[in-house]
Amino acid sequence: MIKTDIIIIGAGPTGLFTVFEAGLLKLKCHLIDALAQPGGQCSEIYPKKPIYDIPAYPEILAGDLVSKLMEQIKPFEPGFTLGERAETLDKQEDGSFIVTTSKGTQHHAPVVVIAGGLGSFEPRKPLIANLNLFESKGVEYMIKDPEVFRNKKVVISGGGDSALDWSIFLADVASEVSLVHRRNEFRGALDSVEKARELAKLGKIQLYTEAEVKEIHGKEDLQAVVIKYNDETKEESYVETDYFIPLFGLSPKLGPIGNWGLEIEKNAIKVNNAKDYQTNIPGVFAIGDVNTYEGKLKLILSGFHEAAVMCQYAYQIINPDKRYVMKYTTVGGVEGFDGSKKEAKKEVVQSIS
């Protein structure tokens, strides 16, 4: 069982910044996210899109913001459980909580913070009759470790950045890569589209456009897919493969969190914004886009503010007999759990005798 001070559900920007604010209070954090990498939507959906309303950054790419946050929280050594969805919340006799994931990983802490953005992200699945029978047996919805596909045959479906970028990357890893898209035009970055078409000309990617995967076949594990063209020919291709990876984007849902007894309003978690962003369950907080209250603004910078306020009250729950005196980082610096310390240089003023 993983033990920590604060369990953070959601590793998007707000969840990541919570690690920093908690770290200043000497509180350890562990983050849980259904996605395979930190960053939430910023990493998974629009890493190359610019954001214009982050203080001190006139413009920053979403993926770069995540990288900066990861750099900022590194001294506080957060733990991560990625690729697993938070399933159950069980309150213990001492008031602490155990959060168990979809894979049975248990986490124990006195405070739980839900920073899940718009909720957990679930993959959009193609309408193929027996798809669920081959999940984790050749059908995957995200790529956690590219080495799994080393010298394997891979079929990827999709027309966005994820499908293009992974097809390009796996061209040098897998023995065969096929990219299937229902249109001739792709929705991804122009340089990625051009690179994929170039690799197709070189025979490193088999490109199927105006086509869709309509059937999958196998015994215990996936063995082949049937690709059907949408043009006038309606031709079909039987393609042998070890893996089928449909990358059609992610759909935000509250998921199991909606069954935890929290007060829900319009698919968001209601909190006490006048005080500490705590939910109707003492010790469970909700910050960022997942929460709602009068005057709520769904902005990343609002989530950052909520994280800072919430951590002050979480400290009181974790350390009821201690009184924390807030210090500005310009005065106290930033001391990490890894032994590092950042602080402003002190000027030495010499008196003139």
Query: Binding site for FAD: what residues are annotated?
Result: 14, 33, 41, 46, 86, 121, 289, 330
Secondary structure (DSSP) of 233-259: T--EEEEE-SEEEE---EEEE-GGGGG
Rounded Cα distance between 22 and 10, Å, is: 15
Q: How far apart are the first and last CA of the chain?
A: 64
According to DSSP, residue 125 is labeled P
CA dihedral over 305, 307, 313, 319, signed as positive or negative: negative
Question: Any idea which residue has 């980082």 for tokens?
Answer: 329
What is the token pair recorded at 216?
């999958």
Surface-to-core class of residue 101, CB atoms within 10 Å of its CB (0-12 exposed, 13-18 middle, 19+ buried):
buried
Give the contacts of 236 (CB within 8 A, at least 6 positions apart).
Answer: 214, 226, 227, 228, 229
Q: Is 60 left (phi over 0), alpha (psi -120 to 50) or beta?
A: beta
Secondary structure (DSSP) of 61-103: EHHHHHHHHHHHHGGG--EEEES--EEEEEE-TTS-EEEEETT
Alpha-carbon distances, residue 216 vs 128, 225, 312, 345 (angstroms)? 8, 4, 52, 63
What is the token pair recorded at 185?
């035009």
Q: Are strands 236-240 and 206-209 parallel, antiparallel or unpaired?
A: unpaired
H or E stretch including 181? Answer: strand 176-181
Give the contacts of 220 (CB within 8 A, at least 6 positions apart).
Answer: 137
CA dihedral over 18, 20, 26, 30, signed as positive or negative: positive
- Binding-site residues from annotation: 14, 33, 41, 46, 86, 121, 289, 330
